[in-house]
Amino acid sequence: MLTLNRLTLALALIGGILAAPAKRTVAYYNPNNGGGSEVDIVSPGLGEPLNVISDPLLTCSDLLTNNFLSFAQDVGFSTECLGIHLGDPQQANLGDGNGAVDQLVEYRENYNLGGTCLESLIGGNHLRGWIQNGPSANSGAWFLAVSQEENVAEGHNIVPNGYNIGRDNLVANANAWAADQSAYSLTVEYVSGLLPSGSNGINHGISQDGQVAVITVTKN
């Protein structure tokens, strides 16, 4: 016989399943088509490229951020050192009808020794993330701004070519994770046309190649 607490939990779980969005016909929508941009907003006229789009299987649940954190940890990231964050959140408009919204997550490279606290000191890979889930383009995909950072003495500025490097390091880690287990399969496609190449409008004036890595995870 279910106790009241167990019944409440069961109903909550059922409600979460019923509330989950239907299976999508597309992995993501082009933000530019909905008045958004594949570049986030750091300051007026400047932003960082949303150079990775990730659809890591479990985004269709009420635990969106927790599920994405699990995926991010599998590919070498984790939460910030001691939960401490300095600096204002960046915003992004994913063309989904939500307008410009604050980042949902910010994760740093998780070193084997020292974890993300070491990244805060010596630099490393780093990502910010948003979910495309607005009323006009509800794909559920994560849009990520990934970059390789300098150390704390350099103010965590982006290293030369740091946007391309950060993206490609994440992709390499994701491929290594997929090759090391059998429960999931992963594909990566580099897509052009979403993001202009070059440094125009890009924070720190750092040029990038305009390629967006689209990562898709499926259960075997």
What are the distances in angstroms from CA 57 to CA 24, 38, 41, 139? 11, 22, 27, 12
10 Å Cβ neighbour count for 204? Answer: 15
Residue 201: what residue type? G
Give the per-residue pLDDT at 17.
Answer: 29
Summarised one tens digit per residue, pLDDT across range 184-209 is: 888 999 999 999 999 999 999 999 99
Core vs surface per residue 119-146: b (16+ CB within 10 A) or e: bbeebbbbbbbbbbbbeebbbbbbbbbb
Give the per-residue pLDDT at 155.
Answer: 59
**pLDDT band, very low/low/confident/very high, at 115 (cuts 50, 70, 90):** low
Give the per-residue pLDDT at 5.
Answer: 38
**pLDDT band, very low/low/confident/very high, at 16 (cuts 50, 70, 90):** very low
Give the per-residue pLDDT at 86.
Answer: 52
